[in-house]
């Protein structure tokens, strides 16, 4: 399958961040491989998932619905995509919308794209800081997830081209 160049570059980072097969008892997604969770993909052979199949899923179910091609800053695209993969695509877009001050409907439409692309601050750093705050707040609400906090925080820091 042919993918856009920016997707190809981003997915390399995403797959590295997600790692291989895991079946951690505290992970609400259950059995996971390359970030693809059995809970959300019950008909997939998670343990034997190929990189090609994971890429297909990420492109169809994450990249395409997020409409990240509307954003100009490739580093921001990577952060928003990575957070979408890790926490949910609508949550990622909502976080971005909150930072730029538009209605947070979870859809990256023309208004959101305009405000993001014309934002005067350092949007990548602000988005990363908001991700860190999100993860810390999540662990406060769900202490069983604390086992993942260090990895999530490291993920934010190392998510770059």
Which domains are present in the chain? 5-158 (1.20.141.10)
Length of the chain: 161
Tens digit of pLDDT at every position of the chain (161 positions) = 889 999 999 999 999 999 999 998 888 888 999 999 999 999 999 999 999 999 999 999 999 999 999 999 999 999 999 999 999 999 999 999 999 999 999 999 999 999 999 999 999 999 999 999 999 999 999 999 999 999 999 999 999 99
- Residue 126 tokens, joined: 């602000």
Predicted TM-score (pTM) of the model is 0.95
Of the candidates 59, 40, 68, the residue with the CA atom closest to the CA atom of residue 2: 59
């Amino acid at each position: 399958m042919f993918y856009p160049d920016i997707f190809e570059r981003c997915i390399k980072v995403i797959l590295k961040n997600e790692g291989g097969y895991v079946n951690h008892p505290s992970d609400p997604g259950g059995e996971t491989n390359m970030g693809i969770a059995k809970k959300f993909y019950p008909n997939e052979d998670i343990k034997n998932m190929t990189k090609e199949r994971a890429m297909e899923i990420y492109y169809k179910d994450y990249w395409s619905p997020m409409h990240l091609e509307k954003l100009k800053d490739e580093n921001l695209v990577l952060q928003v995509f990575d957070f979408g993969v890790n926490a949910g695509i609508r949550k990622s877009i909502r976080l971005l919308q909150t930072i730029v001050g538009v209605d947070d409907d979870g859809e990256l439409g023309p208004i959101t794209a305009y405000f993001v692309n014309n934002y005067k601050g350092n949007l990548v750093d602000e988005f990363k800081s908001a991700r860190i705050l999100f993860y810390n707040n999540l662990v406060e609400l769900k202490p069983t997830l604390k086992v993942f906090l260090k990895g999530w925080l490291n993920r934010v820091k190392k998510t770059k081209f």
